[in-house]
């Protein structure tokens, strides 16, 4: 039987684990998979683009597990009462091809994206970074803030969004985190001024310039999350040129990330090698570091493996007959045809 985790099950699983513990545990899974990067069969995701957005399939495997995610990105969806990003996915046993888990991945994507961002900042930001400016107060925002608080000890966060109500929502949702001071900014410039870490997590299907060079300060770490599709960027090209850029799967990021604006020879560095301790991230205190995040399938495999383990441990989720259970595996017909 295949284990099925819907949104309610995933929420129960996070609550049962405790948010802090869930995030710390997930960090361990993602780090371990990044350290094992060369052992995975990797490819850029396949994308079906339309005027309104994109629908993508993201597969990855090692010799034990195969995972894939279906995910969309439709920035205008909130005006229709729908989310910008929605996802589901599966985890399968490589030896038999049997799907062990079918799971919601909208919440999972928010968690894995935030934890990957925080993991990158742990490796790349100044060790004494304590405050962050975050531009974009949509679905991903609070997950980012909490992951940075738990993993990077970020205690003060300035927020900005062109939508005042989105900022109200973030303030309300994070009220129960007394150790995180949320400060409402009046502009992007006001939001990022003096920040050790800057996260951009906006959604707009355009080559936006959320961050421009005049906003960038020595030693900043930039976590660019929302530029993740051809023709959808957030960082001005001069910002990219001013820093040392780290990427997930280079072949995918060259097409989808903010670095799509740069020529193909512009140097970028693999994040996994820094996580694995093979390369240095930040070379000097005043260097600007940039994580050009687009989201890679391996992060999804990590969270699928993680929630599968937790779900089995806590007995959360239901088992479903996704695959026929047959006495005789050659007799599929018997299952389908009851009468003639
Ligand atoms: P969302 O639609 O819920 O929120 C986006 C927010 O950005 C909205 O509140 C909107 O008002 C704000 N915004 C748009 N333009 C802005 C501007 N110029 N200045 C300030 N705020 C602006 O979307 P979401 O689910 O929070 O996702 C945010 C972005 O992150 C999307 O672009 C999505 O594709 C991307 N994303 C990336 C990854 C990754 O792994 N890199 C994962 C998930 C989502």
Residue 132: which pLDDT band, with cuts at 50, 70 and 90? very high
pLDDT in tens, 186-218: 999 999 999 999 999 999 999 999 999 999 999
Q: 78 CB under 6 A from ligand 1? A: yes
- What is the whole-number distance in angstroms between the Cα of residue 200 and the centre of ligand 1? 8
Residue 331: which pLDDT band, with cuts at 50, 70 and 90? very high
Residue 339: which pLDDT band, with cuts at 50, 70 and 90? confident
Average model confidence (pLDDT) across the chain = 97
Q: 226 CB under 6 A from ligand 1? A: yes
Q: 257 CB under 6 A from ligand 1? A: no
Q: What is the pLDDT of residue 338?
A: 76
pLDDT in tens, 68-80: 999 999 999 999 9
pLDDT in tens, 261-273: 999 999 999 999 9
Q: For the chain, what is the HEC assignment? A: CEEEECHHHHHHHHHHHCHHHHHHHHHHHHHHHHHCHHHCECCCCEEEECCCCEEEEEEEECCCEEEEEEEEECCCHHHHCCCCCCEEEEEEECCCCCEEEEEECHHHHHHHHHHHHHHHHHHHCCCCCCEEEEECCCCCHHHHHHHHHHHHCCCEEEEECCCHHHHHHHHHHCCCCCCCEEEECCCHHHHHCCCCEEEECCCCCCEEEEECHHHCCCCCEEEECCCCECCEEEECHHHHHCCEEEECCHHHHHHHCHHHHCCCCCCCEEHHHHHCCCCCCCCCCCCCEEEECCCCHHHHHHHHHHHHHHHHHHCCCEEECCCCCCCCCCCCHHHHCCCC
pTM over 0.95: yes
Q: 5 CB under 6 A from ligand 1? A: no
pLDDT in tens, 2-22: 999 999 999 999 999 999 999
pLDDT in tens, 238-266: 999 999 999 999 999 999 999 999 999 99
Q: 159 CB under 6 A from ligand 1? A: no
Answer yes or no: is pLDDT of 98 > 80: yes
> From the alpha carbon of 225, which atom of ligand 1 is closest?
41
Active site residues: 228
Q: 138 CB under 6 A from ligand 1? A: yes
pLDDT in tens, 162-179: 999 999 999 999 999 999
Q: What is the mean pLDDT of residues 304-314?
A: 98
Domains of the chain, with CATH numbers? 2-107+298-325 (3.30.1780.10), 113-295 (3.40.50.720)
> From the alpha carbon of 116, which atom of ligand 1 is closest?
40
Answer yes or no: is pLDDT of 340 > 80: no
The residue whose CA has the least distance to atom 29 of ligand 1 is: 226
The residue whose CA has the least distance to atom 11 of ligand 1 is: 163
Report the percent of the chain where pLDDT is more than 70: 100
Q: What is the mean pLDDT of residues 133-157?
A: 98
Q: What is the pLDDT of residue 159?
A: 98
- What is the whole-number distance in angstroms between the Cα of residue 229 and the centre of ligand 1? 12
Answer yes or no: is pLDDT of 337 > 90: no
């Amino acid at each position: 039987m295949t284990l099925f985790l819907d949104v309610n099950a995933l929420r129960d699983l996070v609550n049962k684990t405790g948010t802090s513990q869930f995030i710390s545990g997930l960090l361990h899974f993602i780090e371990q998979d990044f350290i094992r990067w060369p052992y995975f069969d990797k490819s850029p995701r396949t994308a079906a683009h339309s005027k309104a957005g994109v629908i993508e399939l993201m597969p990855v495997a090692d010799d034990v597990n195969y995972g894939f995610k279906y995910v969309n990105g439709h920035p205008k969806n909130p005006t229709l009462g729908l989310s910008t990003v929605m996802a589901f996915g599966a985890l399968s046993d490589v030896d038999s091809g049997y799907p062990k888990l079918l799971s919601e991945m909208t919440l999972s994507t928010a968690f894995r994206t935030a934890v990957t961002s925080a993991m990158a900042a742990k490796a790349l930001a100044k060790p004494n970074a304590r405050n962050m400016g975050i531009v974009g107060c949509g679905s991903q925002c609070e997950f980012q803030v909490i992951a940075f608080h738990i993993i990077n000890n970020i205690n003060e966060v300035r927020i900005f969004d062109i939508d005042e109500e989105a900022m109200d929502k973030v303030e309300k949702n994070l009220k129960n985190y007394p150790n995180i001071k949320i400060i409402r900014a009046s502009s992007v410039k006001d939001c990022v001024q003096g920040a050790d870490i800057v996260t951009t997590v906006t959604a707009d299907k355009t080559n936006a310039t959320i961050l421009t060079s005049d906003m960038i300060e020595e030693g900043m770490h930039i976590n660019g999350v929302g530029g993740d599709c051809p023709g959808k960027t957030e960082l001005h090209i001069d910002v990219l040129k001013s820093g040392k850029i780290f990427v997930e799967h280079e072949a995918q990021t060259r097409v989808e990330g903010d670095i799509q604006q740069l020529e193909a020879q512009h140097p970028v560095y693999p994040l996994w090698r820094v996580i694995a301790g093979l390369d240095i991230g930040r070379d000097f205190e005043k260097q600007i570091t940039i994580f050009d995040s687009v989201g890679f399938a391996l992060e999804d495999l990590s969270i699928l493996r993680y929630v599968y383990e937790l779900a089995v441990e806590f007995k959360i989720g239901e088992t479903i007959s996704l695959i026929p259970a047959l006495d005789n595996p050659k007799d599929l017909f018997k299952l389908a045809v009851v009468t003639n």
